[in-house]
Amino acid sequence: MTYGIPWRADRWRGRFFTIWSGQAFSLFGSQLVQFALVWWLTEKTGSGVVLTLATLAAVLPQVVLGPFVGTLVDRWDRRLTMILADGSVALTTLGLVVLFALGLGRVEHIYIALFLRSIGGGFHWPAMRASTTLMVPEEQLSRVAGLNQTLQGAMAIVAPPVGAALLAFLPLQAILAVDVVTALMAILPLLVLQIPSLERQATRVAATFLRDLSEGFRFVISWRGLLATAGIAAFLNFLMAPAASLLPLLVSRHFHGTAAHFAAANMAFGVGVVAGGAILAVWGGFRRRMVTSLAAIILMGVTTLAVGLAPSAFFAVAVVAMGLTGIAQSMANGPIGAALQASVPPELQGRVFTLVSAGAAAMMPLGLALAGPLSDIVGPNVWFLLAGGSSLLLGIAGLFVPAIVRLEERGAELAAQAASAREAAADADP
């Protein structure tokens, strides 16, 4: 399937990977800041409620704004959208730097900063994903997805030990300043390189926001397999996201660990993500991408259960299990993203991606609201057991749902129907 972008098939690598490299630097800064802030909250409060509230502040904007952001991303210049989003994140972090440098930094300031950074990220990542389809040939999307998962894992390997080392020698504001610099490094390539425009943009000047929004909703609702997949993701996020937010508390309270132990757990997860991404990049997965994802979800359930069951004296078991969880997550997320990029027309991708992401994250706030108080009462281990068991069962159940397993076949049919509908609407417009 092609979309009339002739340069894409030959000279795409230089342009894409220059922009991609800038995003990699920005991701490193974000991971570094996340590690430092999370451990600062853990040390200062030791509260599961505080950690889950911080996660809630980071995800709530994307849940609420997600359905509308995608429509805007599809109407706006995606390069400019990424520049403004990265710039807003840098300014927000700079505000935290000033507050902590003046000795005024508080927990509530971190909540506000995470909330504002999430708004910027909510615009940035849909624009980047949709732009990827315009710069990368379709046959390379799975490998790029695997490469992205590898990048996520590499950052998870590098950022935690660097963060732990910096926390031992530098004040928090100095670590936060790194994120400002790396955000600027992401903006620079976008200032000098263009991202291809969609040919259909000139014919849609008169299109209304509501019509664009409803078009995205119709596309998603008509795709039963996508709705079912989003439902699985929503329930997994309901349990898995709180488990991830409680990991520092599990390390400090159950395993009696330090920032170095927390870094080790994160590094193991990162190594797993890199390994899973590398396997995916070389192998490509099963012919049906969703089979690869569902098998990985099953593995994720088993390994998360192992983390929750590890005795306090066996931290190494939890570290190994975290590494295997990273492999599973990488191989679960990559094929789903590639399937959507290959099946959804580029002019709809901003809307579809954000609608799906918002739907998948819709249950996350409820899970976070429950997990914090529960972990303070019975310990964080219980939530890991709930998350692992649910992931295991959902992965197995998904293999028996044809609409999920055959997600891409139906997506190709809907893409063709959407293209025909747009052509008919364009002919009808004066």
> Predicted confidence band at 415 (pLDDT cuts at 50, 70, 90)?
low
DSSP state, residue 255: S
The radius of gyration computed from the CA coordinates of the chain, to the nearest angstrom, equals 21
Average pLDDT over residues 93-100: 93
How far is Cα 56 from Cα 316, in angstroms, rounded to an integer? 29
Residue 81 half-sphere exposure toward CB, CA atoms < 13 A: 24
Residue 171 confidence (pLDDT) above 80: yes
What residues contact 114, with CB distance under 8 A and at least 6 apart?
Answer: 37, 54, 57, 58
Residue 241 confidence (pLDDT) above 50: yes
Residue 190 confidence (pLDDT) above 90: no
Two structure tokens written together for 75? 């109407």
How does DSSP assign 14-80, residue by residue? HHHHHHHHHHHHHHHHHHHHHHHHHHHHHHHH--HHHHHHHHHHHHHHHHHHHHHHHHHHHHS-HHH
Assign residue 103 a region: left if phi > 0, alpha if psi is -120 to 50, beta otherwise?
Answer: left
| 28 against 4, higher pLDDT | 28
380 Cα distance to chain centroid: 23
Residue 430 confidence (pLDDT) above 60: no
How does DSSP assign 75-94, residue by residue? HS-HHHHHHHHHHHHHHHHH
Residue 61 confidence (pLDDT) above 60: yes
**Degrees to nearest 5, angle at CA 101 with 95 and 105:** 65
Residue 201 confidence (pLDDT) above 50: no
Among 137-141, 158-162, 337-341, the range with the most confident prediction by mean pLDDT is 158-162
Report the residue count for the chain: 430
- 3-state helix vs strand vs coil in the chain, percent to 5: 85, 0, 15
Do the beta carbons of residue 411 and residue 339 sit within 8 Å?
Answer: yes
pTM over 0.85: no
Average pLDDT over residues 19-42: 85
- Count helices and strands (H / E) in the chain: 17, 0
DSSP state, residue 288: S
Residue 167 confidence (pLDDT) above 80: yes
How far is Cα 50 from Cα 53, in angstroms, rounded to an integer? 5
Mean pLDDT of the chain: 81
Average pLDDT over residues 195-222: 63
- Nearest CA among 36, 323, 33 for reference residue 164: 36
pLDDT digits (tens, 9 = 90+) for 252-290: 988 999 888 988 998 898 888 888 878 887 887 888 888
| 308 against 414, higher pLDDT | 308
Residue 396 confidence (pLDDT) above 90: yes
What are the distances in angstroms from CA 410 to CA 178, 231, 332, 414?
45, 17, 20, 6
| 10 against 227, higher pLDDT | 227
Average pLDDT over residues 43-47: 86
- Report the interhelical angle of 78-101 vs 48-75 (nearest 10°): 150
How far is Cα 86 from Cα 74, in angstroms, rounded to an integer? 18
**Degrees to nearest 5, angle at CA 378 with 375 and 383:** 50
Average pLDDT over residues 178-183: 89
Average pLDDT over residues 280-301: 88
208 Cα distance to chain centroid: 29
pLDDT value for 14: 74
pLDDT value for 70: 67
Of the chain, the percentage scoring pLDDT greater than 90 comes to: 19
Which of 26-40, 56-70, 368-382 shows the lowest per-residue confidence on average (mean pLDDT)? 56-70
Residue 202 confidence (pLDDT) above 50: no
Average pLDDT over residues 111-117: 91
Do the beta carbons of residue 127 and residue 85 sit within 8 Å?
Answer: yes
pLDDT value for 392: 94
CATH number of 15-188+208-428: 1.20.1250.20
How does DSSP assign 198-233, residue by residue? PGGGGGGTT--HHHHHHHHHHHHHT-HHHHHHHHHH
Average pLDDT over residues 228-246: 85
pLDDT digits (tens, 9 = 90+) for 316-327: 999 999 999 999
| 399 against 366, higher pLDDT | 399
What residues contact 189, with CB distance under 8 A and at least 6 apart?
Answer: 18, 19, 21, 22
> Predicted confidence band at 412 (pLDDT cuts at 50, 70, 90)?
low
| 362 against 372, higher pLDDT | 372
Do the beta carbons of residue 128 and residue 341 sit within 8 Å?
Answer: no
pLDDT value for 136: 74
How far is Cα 259 from Cα 161, in angstroms, rounded to an integer? 9
Amino acid at site 117: R
Residue 5 confidence (pLDDT) above 80: no
pLDDT value for 3: 37
| 428 against 166, higher pLDDT | 166
- Nearest CA among 38, 177, 195 for reference residue 101: 177
pLDDT value for 189: 86
| 208 against 118, higher pLDDT | 118
pLDDT value for 304: 95
SS3 assignment for 316-350: HHHHHHHHHHHHHHHHHHHHHHHHHHHHCCHHHHH
> Predicted confidence band at 31 (pLDDT cuts at 50, 70, 90)?
confident
Which of 43-57, 81-95, 119-133, 299-313 shows the lowest per-residue confidence on average (mean pLDDT)? 119-133
Among 49-53, 174-178, 294-298, the range with the most confident prediction by mean pLDDT is 294-298
